[in-house]
């Protein structure tokens, strides 16, 4: 990450000399050298207040002779003058000749002492604490602390179970006053609502009077909380973390494509947490995206295949439904078919859709654009995760979404006899249910049922983002990978398999037996994907598309303040919307 | 690698075999005498007779949930027993204690606590791992049922077997 011509400094860590670029924090240098220094308040994406004192180390500098040159000892190495007291390693950068000891007797004694002080008022809550299992205090207590408590006095009692905001619950007794959450709110979310009040042992974390931690990034404070003080109200008491199977994936709620870890147990998703990727989302993600997974278990989830027979929808099996869909599509001419795909589909699915359109000779094909207010942190205005994928793969000549209104008009006027809706709700097109009922052929592939699916001639239950493997291109042109975290429920099937079968049934698409085959075809035909495979994309993605960068703006101070206020208001509004939506439905889609 | 085990070297008495035969017959005659005098107990008439009273203290029977002297279900649904259980017999769904409750401070309780007694191997790991002294292996051994569903002990059944436990640490009562 450093510039190529950054000066390098020689630093001795635990007796071994290393080289680090100028500007490296001592704590980071130690970690890179393989000597992990425990820390609570330090977070590499936030400022260093140095208030937890856990990262104490011994530091020294070369002894200088009368000529101001380092005196050399045996072996030609400089003799180190050690500072006679411990130093914190999180608030200092490396410098030339610096020497560090991370496991000397003094350092170990300091760590034991700091741990003992931190645990003095910490409750023995571990059996009911959601952080247990991923708690820094537990881990460092084992690694660096004492096995027994010498504290005989009564612990300070502090408020528990405080609702800090719509999505965050605070337990003040567990707080070790590291101030990570406060700094996150100030530095990243720019919504300064948290702070410490009172003094000494009685210091507590609280929200400023009249304010709530309700911006759209509040749940990141739960992630960075090293203990169980800040807990997610949504995840609270739902599942112990050691049961969760962690699948690396990406968020599909907007075009940013934040890297995530999906925590699941026995095919149930319990939480999504951000995964570090400095090219995309740093260490953060927004609450809206994080909680947007409940629709996968919604009551109106499509679990059964259905075919219309004598005016009624009846259950079917996969071969029959695919055959029926193909038969219906062949009964109309190519000009009478329209395909509405979705910007939420993966590249592989969009490519198969384009092949289906090609095979049928369909021109009327587009995706539904989804534009809503974004913010300047992570949330993109484009709420489709794969608009760029549609741009590259779908094979449409116009911009995604440009033909949509023409398609809607054609359906209304009766020019279109067959409509194929893939992962979208027809309501977005402004087509009424009555008009849909008039359609001779209306094939729906979706996750959730709605009024439109009732009017379909064939209903194909498909998979949600956590149930499939595939790739998407985010708003900045980065190709990233989705991974399967849970198995699809009921008879729902992988979208790409459904499209492949449909493609074969209408007379195209051969020898596509795995999703890797589909990706190989894409990489052979589309130059941006050349030389890539799904496994080569890796966990952090590959940049494949140069997007036009907006010119940087330099607003005047007044304008900047005005903008900041507006952004803050908007972000709060989005946070509120998420809260309302969750309260109403537990679902935040469509 | 083959190991040659040396045969024991017998002296002349042992090689004669007669003293051993006499000693064996003596035991046989002792038992014969005891039987004639009605001193030998051959069979316990289970289930009319039960051996409960002679079960040792460390006997590992059915696992059960206990209440403490205050009547609180001691389990806080930490799910460590579910995690440690080798045959995965335990299934817990946790709930939140409402803030108006007398034990609101404990915050968490098991909404559902199922032990599948077909799976349970009576190993006692759940009792050992429990940080709350909430689950104990009791002396119940006759666990029967007509269906698989019958063999799942739900929370009520577990509490019924467990009863009240005296002398456990009451860590939630006072902050220490």
Distance CA A528, CA A538 (A): 16
Helix A495-505 / helix A347-360 crossing angle, nearest 10 deg: 10
B23 and B98 co-located in one domain: no
CB-CB neighbors (< 8 A) of B132 in chain A? 127
Distance CA A336, CA A340 (A): 13
- Interacting residues of A24 by C-beta distance below 8 A, sequence separation 6+: A2, A9, A32, A93, A94
Q: What is the CATH number of the domain that holds A124?
A: 3.30.70.20
B16 and B64 co-located in one domain: no
Q: Which residue of A has its CA nearest to B79?
A: A240
pLDDT at A560 over 70: no
pLDDT score recorded for residue A587: 52
Quick one: average pLDDT of A345-369? 92
A279 and A303 co-located in one domain: no
Confidence grade of residue A35 (pLDDT, cut at 50, 70, 90): very high
Q: Which of A441, A585, A575 is nearest to A164 (CA)?
A: A575
B131 occurs within a structural domain: yes
- Under DSSP, the state recorded for A277 is B
Distance CA A343, CA A394 (A): 10
**Residues A161, B99: C-beta atoms closer than 8 Å:** yes
**Residues A154, B175: C-beta atoms closer than 8 Å:** yes
Distance CA B169, CA B171 (A): 6
Contact of A163 with chain B, judged by CB distance below 8 Å, is answered with no
Confidence grade of residue A48 (pLDDT, cut at 50, 70, 90): very high
Contact of A266 with chain B, judged by CB distance below 8 Å, is answered with no
pLDDT score recorded for residue B176: 46
**Residues A124, B171: C-beta atoms closer than 8 Å:** yes
Domain membership of residue A437 as a residue range: 299-543
CB-CB neighbors (< 8 A) of B83 in chain A? 240, 242-243
Backbone angles phi and psi of A370, in degrees to 5: -140, 100
**Residues A128, B106: C-beta atoms closer than 8 Å:** yes
A558 occurs within a structural domain: no
Distance CA A422, CA A495 (A): 9
A561 occurs within a structural domain: no
pLDDT score recorded for residue B38: 87
B143 occurs within a structural domain: yes
**Residues A243, B108: C-beta atoms closer than 8 Å:** no
A250 and A319 co-located in one domain: no
Q: Which of A326, A391, A334 is nearest to A360 (CA)?
A: A334
Confidence grade of residue A235 (pLDDT, cut at 50, 70, 90): very high
A279 and A307 co-located in one domain: no
Q: Based on the structure, what is the number of domains in chain A?
A: 3
CB-CB neighbors (< 8 A) of B82 in chain A? 243
Strand order across the beta sheet in which B108-116 lies: B90-96, B108-116, B152-153
- Under DSSP, the state recorded for A274 is E
Tell me which residue in B107, B175, B176 faces A128 most closely, judged by beta carbons: B107
Confidence grade of residue A263 (pLDDT, cut at 50, 70, 90): very high
Contact of A155 with chain B, judged by CB distance below 8 Å, is answered with yes
What is the bridge-based pairing of β-strands A306-309 and A268-274?
Answer: unpaired
Contact of A153 with chain B, judged by CB distance below 8 Å, is answered with no
A354 and A430 co-located in one domain: yes
B34 and B69 co-located in one domain: no
A354 and A503 co-located in one domain: yes
Instruction: Please name the residues between 112 and 131 in chain B that touch chain A, using a CB distance below 8 Å.
Output: 131
pLDDT score recorded for residue A559: 63
CB-CB neighbors (< 8 A) of A160 in chain B? 105, 107
B94 Cα to chain A: minimum distance (Å): 6
What is the bridge-based pairing of β-strands A194-197 and B152-153?
Answer: unpaired
Percent residues over pLDDT 90 in chain A: 74
Among A152, A228, A232, A237, the residue to mutate for chain B (most B Cβ within 10 A): A237
Contact of B97 with chain A, judged by CB distance below 8 Å, is answered with no
Confidence grade of residue A555 (pLDDT, cut at 50, 70, 90): very low
B28 and B110 co-located in one domain: no
Q: How much is the ipTM here?
A: 0.82
**Residues B95, A237: C-beta atoms closer than 8 Å:** yes
A559 occurs within a structural domain: no
B109 and B143 co-located in one domain: yes
pLDDT score recorded for residue A563: 67
A366 and A309 co-located in one domain: yes
pLDDT in tens, A367-380: 999 888 888 899 99
pLDDT at A561 over 70: no
Tell me which residue in A127, A154, A236 faces B78 most closely, judged by beta carbons: A127
- Interacting residues of A335 by C-beta distance below 8 A, sequence separation 6+: A363, A415
pLDDT at A409 over 80: yes
pLDDT at A264 over 70: yes
Contact by Cβ (8 Å): A32, A67: no
B7 occurs within a structural domain: no
CB pairs under 8 A between A and B: 41
Q: Based on the structure, what is the number of domains in chain B?
A: 2
Residue ending a domain, among A296, A323, A357, is A296
**Residues B80, A127: C-beta atoms closer than 8 Å:** yes
Q: Which of B141, B135, B139 is nearest to B78 (CA)?
A: B135
pLDDT at A585 over 60: no
A163 Cα to chain B: minimum distance (Å): 12
Q: Which of A473, A130, A466 is nearest to A293 (CA)?
A: A466
Structure tokens at A358: 């090609």
A359 and A468 co-located in one domain: yes
Structure tokens at B82: 């579910």
Beta strand ranges found along A386-490 (DSSP E): 418-422, 441-446, 458-461, 470-473, 478-482
A140 and A102 co-located in one domain: no
* Mean pLDDT (chain A, rounded): 90
Burial class of residue B46, CB neighbours in 10 A (0-12, 13-18, 19+): exposed
pLDDT score recorded for residue B173: 76
Q: Which residue of A has its CA nearest to B131?
A: A127
B119 and B38 co-located in one domain: no
CB-CB neighbors (< 8 A) of A157 in chain B? 175
B99 and B123 co-located in one domain: yes
Domain membership of residue B36 as a residue range: 12-42
Contact of A240 with chain B, judged by CB distance below 8 Å, is answered with yes
**Residues B176, A154: C-beta atoms closer than 8 Å:** yes
pLDDT score recorded for residue A251: 96
**Residues A128, B80: C-beta atoms closer than 8 Å:** no
Backbone angles phi and psi of A199, in degrees to 5: -130, 165
B154 and B112 co-located in one domain: yes
B170 occurs within a structural domain: no
Q: What is the CATH number of the domain that holds A29?
A: 3.10.20.740
pLDDT at A579 over 80: no
- Interacting residues of A584 by C-beta distance below 8 A, sequence separation 6+: none
B79 and B109 co-located in one domain: yes
Q: Which of A194, A210, A4, A17 is nearest to A98 (CA)?
A: A17
SS3 A466: helix
A39 Cα to chain B: minimum distance (Å): 26
B114 Cα to chain A: minimum distance (Å): 16
pLDDT score recorded for residue A551: 40
B95 Cα to chain A: minimum distance (Å): 7
Contact of A128 with chain B, judged by CB distance below 8 Å, is answered with yes
Q: Which of A317, A535, A336 is nearest to A420 (CA)?
A: A336
Distance CA A351, CA A355 (A): 6
Structure tokens at A470: 């595939």
- Interacting residues of A497 by C-beta distance below 8 A, sequence separation 6+: none
**Residues B78, A126: C-beta atoms closer than 8 Å:** yes
**Residues A128, B176: C-beta atoms closer than 8 Å:** no
Quick one: average pLDDT of A222-232? 96
B21 occurs within a structural domain: yes
Helix A347-360 / helix A515-525 crossing angle, nearest 10 deg: 70
A400 and A464 co-located in one domain: yes
Q: What is the CATH number of the domain that holds B88?
A: 3.30.70.3270
B19 and B62 co-located in one domain: no
A151 and A81 co-located in one domain: no
pLDDT score recorded for residue A103: 93
Q: Which of A212, A84, A232, A259 is nearest to A170 (CA)?
A: A232
pLDDT at B154 over 90: yes
A150 and A251 co-located in one domain: yes
- Interacting residues of A440 by C-beta distance below 8 A, sequence separation 6+: A328, A331, A332, A417, A418, A457
**Residues A243, B83: C-beta atoms closer than 8 Å:** yes
Task: Report the run of H or E that residue A417 belongs to, with start and end.
Answer: none
A283 forms bridges with which residues in the sheet? none
Contact of A63 with chain B, judged by CB distance below 8 Å, is answered with no
- Under DSSP, the state recorded for A252 is -
**Residues B95, A154: C-beta atoms closer than 8 Å:** no
Q: How many residues does chain A have?
A: 590
Contact by Cβ (8 Å): B89, B120: yes
B5 occurs within a structural domain: no
- Interacting residues of A91 by C-beta distance below 8 A, sequence separation 6+: A25, A48, A49, A50
CA atoms within 13 A on the CB side of A188: 26
What is the bridge-based pairing of β-strands B63-65 and A470-473?
Answer: unpaired
**Four-point Cα dihedral A298, A301, A303, A306, nearest 10:** 160
Which of A188-197, A254-263, B167-176 shows the lowest per-residue confidence on average (mean pLDDT)? B167-176
A19 occurs within a structural domain: yes
B50 occurs within a structural domain: no
Quick one: average pLDDT of B18-29? 96
Backbone angles phi and psi of B54, in degrees to 5: -100, 10
What is the bridge-based pairing of β-strands B63-65 and A542-543?
Answer: unpaired
pLDDT at A589 over 60: no
B168 occurs within a structural domain: no
**Mean pLDDT highest for which of A452-456, A539-543, B167-171?**
A539-543
Longest dimension (CA), chain B: 87
CB-CB neighbors (< 8 A) of B94 in chain A? 237-238
pLDDT score recorded for residue A552: 41
Contact of A126 with chain B, judged by CB distance below 8 Å, is answered with yes
B149 and B99 co-located in one domain: yes
pLDDT score recorded for residue A556: 47
B23 and B109 co-located in one domain: no
Contact of A81 with chain B, judged by CB distance below 8 Å, is answered with no
Contact by Cβ (8 Å): A288, A272: no
CB-CB neighbors (< 8 A) of B111 in chain A? none
SS3 A349: helix
pLDDT score recorded for residue A573: 76
Quick one: average pLDDT of A562-568? 69
Distance CA A577, CA A290 (A): 14
pLDDT score recorded for residue A578: 65
Distance CA A95, CA A89 (A): 12
**Residues A238, B108: C-beta atoms closer than 8 Å:** no
B144 Cα to chain A: minimum distance (Å): 29
pLDDT in tens, B107-153: 999 999 999 999 999 999 999 999 999 999 999 999 999 999 999 99
CB atoms within 10 A of CB A452: 23
**Residues B78, A128: C-beta atoms closer than 8 Å:** yes
- DSSP for chain B reads ---PPPPP---HHHHH-HHHHHHHHHHHHHHHHHHHTT-------TTTS--GGG--TT----EEE-B-TT--B------HHHHH-TT--EEEEEEE--TTSTTGGG-EEEEEEEEETTT-----HHHHH-TTS-EEE-S------SSTGGGEE-HHHHHHHH-B--S---TTTS--
A275 and A129 co-located in one domain: yes
pLDDT at B1 over 60: yes
- Interacting residues of A499 by C-beta distance below 8 A, sequence separation 6+: A349, A352, A353, A356, A422, A445
Contact by Cβ (8 Å): A43, A171: no
pLDDT in tens, A268-324: 999 999 999 999 999 999 999 999 999 999 999 999 999 998 888 999 999 999 999
Confidence grade of residue B52 (pLDDT, cut at 50, 70, 90): confident
- Interacting residues of B72 by C-beta distance below 8 A, sequence separation 6+: B103, B106, B172
Distance CA A298, CA A300 (A): 5
């Amino acid at each position: 990450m450093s510039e190529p011509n950054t000066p390098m400094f020689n630093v001795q860590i635990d007796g071994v000399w290393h080289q680090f670029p100028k500007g490296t924090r001592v704590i980071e240098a130690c970690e890179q050298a393989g000597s992990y220094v425990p820390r609570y308040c330090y977070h590499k994406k936030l400022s260093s207040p140095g208030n937890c004192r856990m990262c104490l180390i011994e530091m020294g500098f070369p002894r200088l002779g009368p000529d101001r040159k380092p005196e050399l000892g045996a072996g030609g190495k400089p003799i180190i003058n050690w500072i006679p007291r411990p130093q914190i390693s999180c608030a200092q950068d490396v410098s030339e000749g610096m020497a560090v000891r991370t496991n000397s007797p003094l350092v170990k004694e300091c760590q034991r002492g700091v741990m003992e002080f931190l645990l003095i008022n910490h409750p023995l809550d571990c059996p009911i604490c959601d952080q247990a299992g991923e708690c820094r205090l537990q881990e460092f207590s084992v690694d660096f602390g004492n096995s027994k408590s010498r504290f005989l006095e009564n612990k300070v009692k502090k408020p528990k179970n405080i609702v800090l905001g719509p999505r965050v619950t605070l337990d003040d007794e567990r707080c070790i006053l590291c101030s990570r959450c406060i700094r996150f709110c100030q530095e990243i979310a720019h919504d300064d609502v948290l702070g410490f009040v009172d003094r000494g042992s009685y210091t507590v974390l609280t929200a400023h009077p009249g304010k709530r931690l309700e911006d759209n990034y509040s749940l990141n404070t739960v992630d960075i909380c090293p203990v169980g003080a800040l807990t997610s109200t949504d995840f609270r008491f739902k599942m112990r973390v050691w049961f969760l199977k962690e699948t690396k994936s990406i968020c599909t709620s907007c075009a940013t494509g934040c890297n995530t870890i999906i925590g699941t147990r026995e095919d149930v998703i319990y939480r999504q947490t951000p995964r570090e990727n400095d090219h995309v989302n740093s260490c953060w993600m927004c609450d809206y995206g994080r909680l947007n997974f409940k629709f996968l278990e919604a009551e109106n989830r499509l679990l059964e295949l259905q075919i219309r027979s004598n005016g009624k929808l009846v259950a079917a099996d996969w071969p029959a439904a695919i055959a029926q869909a193909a038969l219906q599509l062949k009964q109309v001419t190519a000009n009478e078919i329209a395909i509405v795909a979705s910007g939420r589909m993966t590249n592989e699915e969009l490519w198969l859709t384009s092949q289906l359109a090609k095979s049928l000779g369909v021109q009327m094909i587009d995706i539904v654009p989804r534009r809503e207010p974004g913010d300047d942190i992570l949330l993109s205005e484009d709420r489709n995760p794969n608009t760029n994928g549609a741009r590259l793969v779908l094979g449409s000549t116009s911009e995604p979404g440009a033909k949509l209104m023409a398609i809607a008009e054609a359906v209304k006027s009766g020019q279109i006899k067959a409509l194929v809706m893939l992962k979208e709700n027809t309501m977005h097109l402004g087509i009424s249910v009555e008009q849909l009922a008039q359609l001779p052929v209306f094939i729906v592939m979706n996750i959730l049922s709605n009024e439109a699916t009732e009017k379909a001639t064939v209903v194909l239950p498909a998979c949600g983002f956590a149930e499939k493997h595939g790739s998407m291109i985010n708003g900045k042109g980065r190709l990233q990978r989705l991974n399967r975290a849970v198995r699809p429920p009921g008879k729902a099937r992988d979208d790409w398999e459904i499209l492949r079968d449909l493609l074969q049934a209408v007379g195209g698409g051969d020898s596509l037996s795995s999703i890797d085959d589909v990706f190989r075809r894409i990489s052979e035909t589309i130059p941006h994907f050349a030389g890539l495979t799904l496994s080569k994309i890796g966990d952090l993605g590959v940049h494949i598309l140069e997007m036009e960068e907006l010119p940087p703006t330099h607003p005047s101070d007044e304008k900047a303040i005005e903008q900041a206020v507006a952004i803050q208001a908007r972000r709060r509004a989005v946070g509120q919307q998420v809260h309302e939506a969750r309260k109403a439905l537990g679902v935040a889609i469509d | 690698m083959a190991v040659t085990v040396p045969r024991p070297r017998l002296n002349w008495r042992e090689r004669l075999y007669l003293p051993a035969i006499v000693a064996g017959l003596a035991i046989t005659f002792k038992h014969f005498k005891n039987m004639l005098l009605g001193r030998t107990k051959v069979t316990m008439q289970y289930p009319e007779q039960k051996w409960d009273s002679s079960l040792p203290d460390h006997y590992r029977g059915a696992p059960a949930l206990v209440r403490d002297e205050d009547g609180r279900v001691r389990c806080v649904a930490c799910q460590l027993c579910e995690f440690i259980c080798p045959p995965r017999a335990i299934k817990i769904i946790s709930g939140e204690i409402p803030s108006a409750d007398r034990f609101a401070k404990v915050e968490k309780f098991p909404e559902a606590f199922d032990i599948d007694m077909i799976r349970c191997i009576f190993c006692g790991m759940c009792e050992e791992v429990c940080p709350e002294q909430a689950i104990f292996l009791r002396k119940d051994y006759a666990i029967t049922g007509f269906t698989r569903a019958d063999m799942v002990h739900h929370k009520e059944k577990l509490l019924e077997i467990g009863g009240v436990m005296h002398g456990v640490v009451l860590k939630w009562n006072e902050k220490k």
